[in-house]
Amino acid sequence: MDTPVALDSYRLLSEWHRLVAAPEGAACERYELNEFGALVKNACPSGPRQLAFTDIYCQLGEQMGHVAAMSVPVVTPSFGIRVPDVVWMWPDKWERFDHDGPVPFVPDLCVEVLLDSDRPHEASRRVSTYLEGGAMEVVVVTPAGVIEYWGTEGRRHTSIFAITLSLEPVY
């Protein structure tokens, strides 16, 4: 049996564009590609989860400037094309790529909201992959609604971006 081979970023992007161009890909709104280029479908987030990552997005915009985005696919170095709930990066980085496809690199800040998520089992892999890919920080909202800041050295007590994020208890 052949062992699958991880695709490089060029081949991942090629597979992504092929999938989006196909009728079945256009209908599939919430998907990612794993490191081998296989489709990974994600359940639509619940209302509370959508409210939570929208709230985080708004707080980032207020505290860091409006260069954040929600549900943007990004190419990671070892985990395929993944879709963090929120990303933020310096304005000059937004100008470096074609916005019709995934971000070809990992943004400076990635946020994963795990409230009722279908992916809490892979949260630590997402965190390490985003950091390995160049993120300066990863924010994780745990299933219990706790906000955690992560860097290459591990969990942090505060954000290196000097942001303070909070969620309403309703989430």
Q: For the chain, list the domains and their CATH numbers.
A: 45-156 (3.90.1570.10)
Task: Tell me the sheet residues that pair with 141.
Answer: 113, 147
pLDDT in tens, the chain (171 residues): 577 788 888 888 888 888 777 655 544 457 888 899 888 888 888 888 899 999 999 999 999 987 999 999 999 999 999 999 999 999 999 988 887 789 999 999 999 999 876 666 788 999 999 999 999 999 999 988 999 999 999 999 999 999 999 998 766
Residue appearing with tokens 């937004």: 94
Sheet containing 137-141: give its strands across.
68-70, 86-88, 109-113, 137-141, 147-151, 154-156
Work out whether strand 109-113 and strand 154-156 pair parallel, antiparallel, or are unpaired. unpaired
Q: Which of 90, 50, 83, 84 is nearest to 66 (CA)?
A: 90
